[in-house]
Amino acid sequence: MLNLHHASVAYKNEVVVDNVSINLLAGQIGCLLGPSGCGKTSILRAIAGFERLSSGSLALRDTVVSDTHVMVPAEARKVGVVFQDYALFPHLTVAENITFGLHQQQKALKQQRMLELLKLVGLFGYENRRPHELSGGQQQRVALARAMAPKPDLLLLDEPFSSLDAELRDDLAKDIRSILKHENTTALMVTHDQHEAFAMADLIGVMSAGQIFQWSNAYSLYHKPVNKFVASFIGDGVFLKAQAQPHNMIESDLGEFELSSEYSFKVGSRLEFLVRPDDVIHDDSSNTLAKVVSRSFQGSHILYELELQVESKQIVLCLALSHHDHRVDEMFGIRLDIEHLIVFTTDI
């Protein structure tokens, strides 16, 4: 459905999107995840038709709509957009906003589609209100309904939850995912919040500095990050230093581990491996002691920041069940339990 092929976007001479490729099949929900200023919104604007590509190509439904020669205008692309500020038309009612994109259809059809969408987004009975009479979450759902009304080939959502309360976000993300799936809409969302990305998307692209580092599902991003940026951007965790040993083993402050066969390092290379908080197990029988630096109570669990009692004084995070209640400066035994080691070399 969406096929972005080696695309770049540049303003003046500054490249903000650099050689990016994305594929979405019909009905899939994709997400671009990255810190602000990484170029994710520029990709969205290029797909919508508000920006030109400086190289590469963009195809929708297997038809090229933008490359260095072709530029199908935004109004002819059949791409819906939900804007960060919603961009609802203040002089129109909810119903008029939703049917705005249906201007070429018959009145009865318009009405029918409008009511269908109002029901879908849970705003039935609000059709004669004006945008300023709605709450933020309601405005957002009107914006969604308006963008979906003409049944676009592709729906783009630009930071759709950024102006909403934290509690609202999770619920709304789930609601919107089920609305999109109900209409079998192909969608691409942009966000800086990984929880939103996980709640909404089938496929996620982690971006930084105009590039997509990894385009895969949430599980792979968390458990098989391709580089250090993805590993540190997704989820919590620290990198522990290690050194390559013979027989594909590595040695670290927390013991020796065997690497899977996909890795092969020269003996003696300096390495780092990813340790997630749930990889560090509270174990009173362990000889490896660590001192509590800080703690944050999270209900069922406590997240400890621990200092290893070795020369390097490295810090690890440990997610322990909350009945393992230790104060700052206390020590307890830990053990590492990692199913699949993620290792990066620090040699250049």
- Minimum gap (Å) between residue 12 Cβ and other proteins: 6
Interface with other proteins (CB under 8 A), residue from 10, 59, 74, 115: 74
Q: Which C-beta is closer to other proteins: that of 91 or that of 182? A: 91
Q: Which C-beta is closer to other proteins: that of 50 or that of 297? A: 50
Here's the x/- map for other proteins, 3-22, by CB under 8 A: it reads as --------xx----------
Helix (H) or strand (E) holding 223: helix 218-223
Does position 133 interact with other proteins (CB under 8 A)? The reply is no
Q: Which C-beta is closer to other proteins: that of 142 or that of 234? A: 142
Contact 208, 34 (CB under 8 A): yes
Q: Which C-beta is closer to other proteins: that of 85 or that of 337? A: 85
Does position 73 interact with other proteins (CB under 8 A)? The reply is yes
Choose one: 21-29, 54-62, 72-80, 234-242; the region binding other proteins (CB under 8 A): 72-80
Residue with tokens 């999270």: 298
Q: Which C-beta is closer to other proteins: that of 12 or that of 182? A: 12
- Minimum gap (Å) between residue 198 Cβ and other proteins: 26
User: Cβ neighbours of residue 316 under 8 Å, at least 6 residues apart?
Assistant: 238, 240, 254, 275, 280, 290, 306, 308, 334
Q: What is the dihedral of CA 56, 62, 63, 67, to 10 degrees?
A: 0
Strands (E) across 25-172 are located at 29-33, 55-60, 63-66, 79-82, 154-158
Choose one: 87-95, 174-182, 264-272, 311-319; the region binding other proteins (CB under 8 A): 87-95
Q: In sequence order, what DSSP letters do the residues of 6-60 get, joined into one string? A: EEEEEETTEEEEEEEEEEE-TT-EEEEE--TTSSHHHHHHHHHTSS--SEEEEEE
Please state the φ and ψ torsions of residue 266, each to the nearest 5 degrees: -70, 140
Q: Kindly report the CA angle at 260 between 254 and 262, in degrees rounded to 5?
A: 130
Does position 71 interact with other proteins (CB under 8 A)? The reply is no
Neighbouring-strand partners of residue 64:
59
Q: Which C-beta is closer to other proteins: that of 87 or that of 303? A: 87
Does position 32 interact with other proteins (CB under 8 A)? The reply is no
Does position 282 interact with other proteins (CB under 8 A)? The reply is no
- Minimum gap (Å) between residue 20 Cβ and other proteins: 21
Here's the x/- map for other proteins, 141-170, by CB under 8 A: it reads as -----xx--x-x---x--------------
- Restricting to residues 93-132, name those near other proteins by CB under 8 A: 100-101, 103-104
Amino acid residing at 115: L
Q: Which C-beta is closer to other proteins: that of 159 or that of 279? A: 159
CA–CA distance from 129 to each of 93, 132, 191, 303, 315 (Å)? 5, 8, 29, 46, 55
- Restricting to residues 38-67, name those near other proteins by CB under 8 A: 45, 48-50
In angstroms, rounded to a whole number, what is the distance separating the alpha carbons of residues 8 and 43?
8
Contact 190, 205 (CB under 8 A): no
Residues that bind other proteins (CB under 8 A): 11-12, 45, 48-50, 73-81, 83-85, 87, 89-91, 100-101, 103-104, 146-147, 150, 152, 156
